[in-house]
């Protein structure tokens, strides 16, 4: 006579929890490294503006995470001697203007600007521009999330033809 030994009774909840842990742990190992919740939503732009002081607002970001994000600085990819300042506003509103600072009250000082979870913002930079073509690329946004500092690279360039 052959005795058949039965397996111990395991709760379905325990089985499901084990599967979730095994699958989640495996996925964590293959997901790309993205430490912060701020994401680039910019598109390449080609604009024209008169020489002098100009506002260029092409950097669009969104907070996809559960935490508030505090913007700290914006490096536009232009020589520091050209940069007049930086501002931010809620929502995505790419724009160019031939004056700085922006006359619109929606733009606020960038350093300390808070993005709530699941919101968007437009970053503007004031530049002193001369006739010719200016290409802004390699821009970076520095921000703070949950007590840690991060940097986001803006991949889309802005090309500005100055008259």
Q: Convert the pLDDT of each residue in 115-158 to its tens digit.
A: 999 999 999 999 999 999 999 999 999 999 999 999 999 999 99
Kindly report the average pLDDT of the chain as a whole number.
87
* CATH number (domain holding residue 150): 2.60.40.10
Instruction: Examine the pLDDT at 11 and tell me if it is beyond 90.
Output: no
Question: How far is Cα 157 from Cα 136, in angstroms, rounded to an integer?
Answer: 5
Answering whether pTM is above 0.85, one says: no
Residue 21 lies in a domain: no
Residue 50 lies in a domain: yes
**Beta strands 45-49 and 114-115: pairing type?**
unpaired
Share of the chain above pLDDT 70, in %: 79
Residue 138 lies in a domain: yes
Quick: pLDDT tens for 29-53.
443 444 689 999 999 999 999 999 9
Domain of 57, in residue numbers: 38-162
Question: How far is Cα 42 from Cα 57, in angstroms, rounded to an integer?
Answer: 10
Residue 97 lies in a domain: yes
Residue 54 lies in a domain: yes
Closest CA to 50 of 127, 105, 125, 107: 127
Residue 142 lies in a domain: yes
Residue 126 lies in a domain: yes
Q: SS3 of 84, please?
A: strand
The number of distinct structural domains making up the chain is: 1
Residue 145 β-bridge partners: 69, 148
Residue 12 lies in a domain: no
């Amino acid at each position: 006579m052959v005795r058949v030994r039965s397996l111990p009774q395991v709760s379905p909840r325990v089985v499901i929890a084990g599967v979730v842990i095994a699958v989640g742990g495996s996925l964590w190992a293959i997901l790309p490294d993205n430490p912060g919740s701020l994401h680039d939503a910019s598109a390449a732009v080609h604009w024209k503006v008169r020489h002098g002081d100009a506002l260029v607002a092409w950097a669009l970001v969104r907070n996809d995470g559960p935490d508030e994000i505090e913007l700290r600085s914006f490096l536009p990819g232009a020589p520091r001697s050209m940069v007049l300042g930086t501002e931010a506003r809620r929502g995505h509103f790419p724009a160019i203007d031939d004056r700085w600072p922006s006359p619109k009250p929606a733009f606020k000082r960038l350093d300390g600007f808070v993005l709530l979870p699941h919101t968007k913002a437009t970053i503007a930079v004031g530049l002193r521009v001369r006739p010719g073509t200016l290409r802004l690329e390699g821009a970076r946004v520095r921000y703070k999330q949950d007590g840690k500092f991060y940097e986001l690279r803006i991949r889309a360039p802005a090309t500005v033809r100055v008259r």
